[in-house]
Amino acid sequence: MSAKTKVGHVVWHDLMTSDVTKARRFYAELLDWQYQIEQTANSVWQSGAAEYPLILANGEAHGDSLSRARISHPIGWPMSWWRMWI
């Protein structure tokens, strides 16, 4: 995250989707986003080694995109949604 982040501004985005590949392609074409896979030892989604897919804009990480199959959610929730961190 940028050192220029201000209080009250969105600082991180989580995209939860049923089709990560399609969503990444859509946002890459729409917003010129790039993606980078980081390796983690442990994550909130699972213990042990895991991949953490970062969303990059102008070379700076500002979010991630995860398969909603990896998280629990109520039946009837939308196929994709954004979670913002302020």
**Which sequence spans correspond to the domains of the chain?**
12-85
What pLDDT does residue 1 have?
Answer: 46
Residue-wise pLDDT tens digits, 29-61: 999 999 998 887 766 656 667 777 888 988 888
Instruction: Annotate 43-65 with b (16+ C-beta within 10 A) or e (fewer).
Output: beeeeeeeeebebeeeeeebbbb
Residue 16: its pLDDT value, please?
83
What is the overall mean pLDDT for the chain? Answer: 76
Share of the chain above pLDDT 90, in %: 10
| Tokens encoding 6 | 């201000």
Instruction: Look at 27-31, 41-45, 68-72, 80-84 and tell me which has the smallest mean pLDDT.
Output: 68-72
How many whole angstroms separate alpha carbon 77 and alpha carbon 31?
25
* The CATH number of the domain covering residues in 12-85: 3.10.180.10
CB distance 52 to 64 below 8 Å: yes
